[in-house]
Structure 1
């Protein structure tokens, strides 16, 4: 596994993915960290870029036991509200790829899902809008799972 992460890191730098230029620290539970590693390694149903983004986040995450995860931290199943620096408000539920749909259930392997995992209320994330403009997403609330 480490060799695959190392290979991904050699191919990928924060400059390659705008949403990772100045990313806030993230925290994951040990269980979710393992599950997301397996998901990224599986490679079925997603492309290499999605795996690379996930590996980047997993590599920089602080790992804690489930009982030590702070309230307000985005994890699988969380309902996340955010706003952009342009005033756009969004709400998603972070789910595994097979549970994603058009009603706001967003896959962890989507660029937005991967960027949000492990951040906390108040954290801001550099992002690219649909038309390519740089924006900043700020997490305003996290509830569940």
Structure 2
């Protein structure tokens, strides 16, 4: 199955705690019911460098991170929080800035560090580029 993320992919880093949680989420989705974003998330985890959560640099987007990112085609800068809200019961949403891990944007941002850029194919066929400008907080690093 083709990925929606372009071929020249930046290196990504994922903490072991996030990796375990995401693997568990993916295991709960039966293979026959996997939707494209879940397949892409699985592909991203397969290429990620997995390290202890305590060693993840403060500049890396992790689950729960609050950060600024730029949508390059519009030049718009936004604040975001990578979340699993809507994926697991009991996890709160952080309002309009919440970016679900199971969206194309969420998959693309996971594991990126400040200054990294990634391009992805939007559902309507256009190529979008996003970059992480600044990670403000990373609560799952501890």
TM-score by length of 2: 0.80
> What is the rounded CA distance, in whole Å, between the counterparts of 1:51 and 1:81 in structure 2?
24
Greater helix share, structure number: 1
Matching of residue 43 in structure 1 with residue 39 in structure 2 = no
More deviation, 17-26/52-61:
17-26
Matching of residue 137 in structure 1 with residue 123 in structure 2 = no
Distance apart, 1:130 and its partner CA: 6.7
Partner of 1:65: 52
Matching of residue 84 in structure 1 with residue 71 in structure 2 = yes
Conserved 8 A contact 1:94-1:107:
yes
> What is the rounded CA distance, in whole Å, between the counterparts of 2:96 and 2:22 in structure 1?
23
Gaps spanning 5+ residues in structure 1: where?
A: 1-11
Gaps spanning 5+ residues in structure 2: where?
A: 87-91
Distance apart, 1:133 and its partner CA: 2.3
Matching of residue 23 in structure 1 with residue 43 in structure 2 = no
Cα deviations by residue, 1:49-87 (Å, 9 ceiling, x for unpaired): 122011101100101112211111000111121113331
Q: With CA pairs under 8 Å and 6+ residues apart, which has the higher RCO, 1 or 2?
A: 2
TM-score by length of 1: 0.79
Distance apart, 1:102 and its partner CA: 5.5
Aligned pairs, number: 130
> What is the rounded CA distance, in whole Å, between the counterparts of 1:131 and 1:54 in structure 2?
20
Q: Note the aligned Cα RMSD (angstroms).
A: 2.1
Distance apart, 1:34 and its partner CA: 0.8
